[in-house]
Amino acid sequence: MNPSYHRYTGVAASPGIAIGKAFTHAEVRPSVPQRRVASARVEAERTRFTDALVSVAESVRRTRDRVDIEHGPDLAQIFEAQLAMLADVEVRDRTLDIISERLWTAERAFAEIMAGLCAKFEQIDNEYLRARVGDLRDIEQQVLTQLSGGALSGLQTLRSNTIIIARDLMPSEVAQLGRRLVMGLVIDVGGATSHTSIIARSLGLPTVVGTESASRRIKSGSRVIVDGEEGVVHALPPAPVLRYFRSERRRQLRRERELSERRSLPSVTVDDVKIQLCANIDLPQEIDLAISNGAEGVGMCRTEFLYLGQRLPDEQQQYEAYRTIVEAMAPQPVVIRTLDLGGDKLSHSIDSLPEANPMLGWRGIRICLDTPDLFKAQIKAILRAAVAGQARILLPMVSNLDEVERARGVIAEAAAELAAAGVEHRADCDLGVMIEVPSAAITARQFAQNVDFFSLGTNDLVQYTLAVDRGTARVANLYDPLHPAVLHLIKQVADSAQAADIPAGICGEMASDPEAAVILIGLGILQLSVSPMAIPELKEVIRAIRLDDAVELAAQALTLTSGSQVRQIVQERIGEALHMARPRRPEGDIR
Ligand code: PEP
Ligand code: MG
């Protein structure tokens, strides 16, 4: 075997296999002069900084327009967010103050402010929001480059069939690559939900991130395979490995063609039972992918995405974001979940005190009810956006009925104020609750009398039922969505919804796991909401199973004592059908 063959393991950030020649992208950090500025030069230094902001904004606007034409508005949205960061008055004014007060260069003052901002984001215990640091760094890099009079990096010199290997790659850089020359990406840092990864997925570029040392060790020009399914990079692969991945790539291309031809097939089981397949969306730009992948609605729109900046967005900003989504999906429904801040999500944007157990603390609906102005602004934005299609309101982290009643009060007030002000809106949006706290699951029968729909938030329901933190790696082996205790609660929720004749869906991650989907359907959950990318494969699973089998398996699962036993009976009974629906790599491969 070739002695220089090396495998780098990272995180699978965008699926597919790419084979090409490495282009090792050297990061050129613009210099940050540490000298002091003479008092007489302070005004000029301040102007140099504000001029740089204007120039970078112009360039980002040009990128946005070009990306809009080449890749559509969903990707272009990312640059809207960057423009908003560039327009942040607080960042600008604080930088100007530092230039004046400390006599620092514009570069040094701006770098200082951005370092503080990035550190703040990095501490957030939420992978998605932490990943927004990439956008901040992108902006910082562009402004510093502009201030130092330099040009952006040499990605323009790329040849065809290139795999870019970089320590870090900015979202703007990836978006400018396009698909003509670049086959795939390998990035040493970051996670699967960074904007760079999001763009890579939207562009369909197989990507592995978090490879740590690949950019230092892989030489430009050497052959590289990016395995975006497994999160592995093969540098200088020997002939058998290359042969294996070439044939694997052909197999995947065939699979993609098949799935795309089958996109419009109905989401029904073999015995013709309709299962509604919806999309979870975290960012407005995901809506197009949701639609093109056949989503029959948005099952949950997490609204935390609007809270990436320093300040909370106002009613108008929220209205515009929700309206875009509701309009695009019309006449299909869009379930807008009200703010689920706190716990592991961005509590820094509100005034909260440190807590010993944030997951059990001031979060979700609790924050909203305690800060009625914040909550009412969001409700008004939703009621206004509902005019453009079909919007439903979903309350997170509800643990007792009193919270629903109080939320109804705020909704009624919001509607009355909009009516008094003559603002177009809909006051009759359906109101549902996330069932993600055991108390809500156990008393689902009472909840069902008081709300229009249920959405099972199993990501949280599992952690609260099993007392296993969803974000702690040490106990990850105990985090088991198929644990019969969780299944009993889900059954209770499904039965309560059915008795009251209201819909019960699921928006937790377990819905995209084929074995779990079978059990959920068997328990009576006939509406599944998953990430847009997961929809086509899940539809294949649905089309391969019978409701009868699912019901029997679910009943049997409730008699078992562990999640692994549940998985085993599903495999034994319908493993072959699942495998046909969602083929995995052949056994005995070269890896
Ligand atoms: C859940 O808890 O299952 C859920 C969908 O919400 P989140 O992951 O945002 O907490
Ligand atoms: Mg949740």
Are 407 and 376 contacting, i.e. CB atoms less than 8 angstroms apart? no
**Confidence at 12, pLDDT banded by 50, 70, 90:** confident
Instruction: List, for residues 16-74, the tens digit of each pLDDT value.
Output: 899 999 988 766 567 788 888 999 999 999 999 999 999 889 888 887 887 777 666 76
> What CATH number corresponds to the domain at position 227?
3.50.30.10
Q: Which residues pair with 24 in a beta bridge?
A: 165
At residue 3 the predicted structure's pLDDT band, cuts being 50, 70 and 90, is: low
Which pLDDT score, from 0 to 100, does residue 286 have? 78
Q: Are 136 and 117 in contact (CB under 8 A)?
A: yes
Largest interatomic CA distance in the chain: 82
Same domain, 500 and 591: yes
Q: How far apart are CA 391 and CA 559, in angstroms?
A: 39
| Helical (H) or strand (E) element with 394 | strand 390-395
The reported pLDDT for the residue numbered 308 is 46
Of 475 and 527, more confident: 527
Residue 412 domain-assigned?
yes
The H-or-E segment that residue 529 falls in is strand 527-530
Pairing label, strands 11-14, 298-302: unpaired
Helix axes 484-500, 547-557, angle to 10 degrees: 130
Residue 159: per-residue pLDDT: 67
Catalytic site residue from 25, 425, 507, 579:
507
Q: Is residue 370 part of a domain?
A: yes
Strands 431-435 and 453-456: parallel
pLDDT tens across 400-429, in order?
A: 999 999 999 999 999 999 999 999 999 999
Question: Which residue in 25, 195, 234, 483 is the catalytic one?
Answer: 195
Residue 409 within any structural domain of the chain: yes
- The single residue listed with the structure tokens 């870019």 is 164
Closest-lying ligand to the alpha carbon of 509? 1
CB 206 within 8 Å of CB 228? yes
Ligand 1 pocket, residue 381 CB under 6 Å: no
Q: How far is Cα 51 from Cα 364, in angstroms, rounded to an integer?
A: 41
Do 561 and 456 belong to one domain? yes
Distance CA(463)–CA(491), nearest Å, equals 17
Give the pLDDT band (50/70/90) at residue 387.
very high
Distance CA 353, CA 291 (A): 41
Which letter does DSSP use for residue 301 in this model?
E
Among candidate residues 81, 114, 148, the one where a domain is terminated: 148
Ligand 1 atom 3 nearest Cα: 457
The total number of structural domains in the chain stands at 4
Return the DSSP state at 429: -
Residues 6+ apart with CB under 8 A from 423: 380, 384
pLDDT on residue 20: 95
What mean pLDDT is predicted for residues 557-581? 94
- Mean pLDDT is lowest, of 57-71, 111-125, 260-274, 526-540, for 57-71
Q: Which of 460, 462, 470, 490 to mutate to test the pocket of ligand 1 (most atoms within 8 A of CB)?
A: 460
Per-residue pLDDT at 158: 58
Classify residue 403 as left (phi > 0), alpha (psi -120 to 50) or beta. alpha
Predicted TM-score (pTM) of this structure: 0.69
H helix or E strand, kind and range, residue 299: strand 298-302
- Whether 340 lines ligand 1, by a CB cut-off of 6 Å, is yes
Return the DSSP state at 478.
Answer: G
CA-only gyration radius of the chain, Å: 25
Q: Please check whether residues 111 and 228 belong to one and the same domain.
A: no
CA–centroid distance, 229 to ligand 1, in Å, is: 24
**Cβ-proximal residues to 164 (8 Å cutoff; 6+ apart), any chain:** 23, 25, 155, 158, 177, 182, 184, 185, 186
Domain boundary residue, one of 132, 148, 164: 148
Query: Smallest Cα–Cα separation from 432: which of 344, 365, 387?
Result: 365
Inform me whether the pLDDT recorded for 220 exceeds 80: yes
Atom of ligand 1 nearest to the CA of 456: 3
175/126 same-domain check? no
Query: 406 with 464, same domain?
Result: no
**Could you list which residues have their CB under 5 Å from ion ligand 2?**
436, 457, 460
Residue 152 has pLDDT above 50, yes or no: no
Q: Report the separation in Å between the CA atom of 396 and the middle of ligand 1, taken as the mean of its atom positions.
A: 8
User: Across 62-66, 125-129, 514-518, which has the greatest mean pLDDT?
Assistant: 514-518
- Residue 195 among the catalytic residues: yes
pLDDT per residue over 311-331, tens digit each? 578 999 899 999 999 999 999
Are 474 and 389 contained in the same domain?
A: no
Residue type, 181: L
Q: What angle do CA 232, 218, 130 make, to 5 degrees?
A: 55
Same domain, residue pair 404 and 459: no
287 falls within a domain? no
Least confident of 75-79, 195-199, 279-283: 195-199
Amino acid at position 569, single letter: I
Same domain, 414 and 501: no
Can you tell me the distance from the alpha carbon of 533 to that of 542, in angstroms, rounded to the nearest whole number? 16
Percent of the chain whose pLDDT exceeds 70: 87
Residue with tokens 């423009």: 83
Number of C-beta neighbours around residue 576 at 10 A: 11
Task: Pick the more confident residue, 316 or 181.
Answer: 316
Distance CA 299, CA 5 (A): 45
Which atom from ligand 1 is nearest to the alpha carbon of 458?
A: 3
Q: At what angle do helices 563-581 and 514-523 cross, to 10 degrees?
A: 110
Q: Which of 215-219, 308-312, 504-508 has the highest mean pLDDT?
A: 504-508
Residue 33 lies in a domain: no
Q: What is the mean pLDDT of residues 451-476?
A: 88
pLDDT at position 349 is: 55
Q: Residue 88 pLDDT more than 60?
A: yes
User: Domain with 471 in it: what CATH number?
Assistant: 3.20.20.60
Greatest mean pLDDT range, 50-59, 303-312, 472-481, 554-563 = 554-563
Are 491 and 587 in the same domain?
yes
Contact 83, 16 (CB under 8 A): no
- Mean pLDDT (the chain) is 87
Q: How confident is the model at residue 1 (pLDDT cuts 50, 70, 90)?
A: very low
Residues 6+ positions from 166 with CB-CB distance below 8 Å? 24, 25, 27, 185, 186, 187, 188, 215
Domain boundary among 89, 123, 148: 148
| 469 and 419 in a common domain | no
Who has greater pLDDT, 50 or 585?
50
Ligand 1 centre from 398 Cα, in Å?
A: 12
For residue 538, what are its two tokens? Answer: 């899940």
- Residue 301 annotated among the catalytic residues of the structure: no
In angstroms, the CA 456 to CA 461 distance is 8
Ligand 1 contact, 364 CB (< 6 A): no
Q: Is 136 exposed, middle or buried (0-12, 13-18, 19+ CB in 10 A)?
A: buried
For residues 173 and 43, state if they share a domain: no
Residue 326 is predicted with a pLDDT of: 97
Q: Please check whether residues 113 and 251 belong to one and the same domain.
A: no
Q: How far is CA 50 from the centre of its chain?
A: 33
The response to whether residue 556 sits with its C-beta less than 6 Å from ligand 1 reads no
What SS3 class is residue 490? helix
Lowest mean pLDDT among 101-115, 169-183, 569-583: 169-183
Contacts of residue 55, Cβ cutoff 8 Å, sequence gap at least 6: 146
User: Beta strands 276-281 and 527-530: pairing type?
Assistant: parallel
- Amino acid type, 270: V
The whole-number pLDDT of residue 472 equals 66
Quick check: is 158 in a domain?
A: yes
Please report whether residue 292 resides in a domain. no
The range of the structural domain enclosing residue 468 comes to 265-273+439-591
- pLDDT recorded at residue 187: 92
Instruction: Find tokens 């992948």 and name the residue.
Output: 293
Ligand nearest to the CA of 456: 1
CA distances from 483 to 127, 278, 382, 556 (A): 25, 25, 36, 13
Q: Is the CB of 436 under 6 A from ligand 1?
A: yes
pLDDT in the model for residue 309 = 46
Residue 221 backbone dihedrals phi, psi, to 5 degrees:
95, -15
Q: Determine the pLDDT at residue 305.
A: 61
**Given pLDDT bands bounded at 50, 70 and 90, which one contains residue 310?**
very low
Whether residue 278 is predicted with pLDDT greater than 90 in this model: the reply is: yes
User: Does residue 284 belong to any structural domain of this protein?
Assistant: no
Q: What is the 3-state secondary structure (H, E, C) of 212-247?
A: CCHHHHCCCCCEEEEECCCCEEEECCCHHHHHHHHH
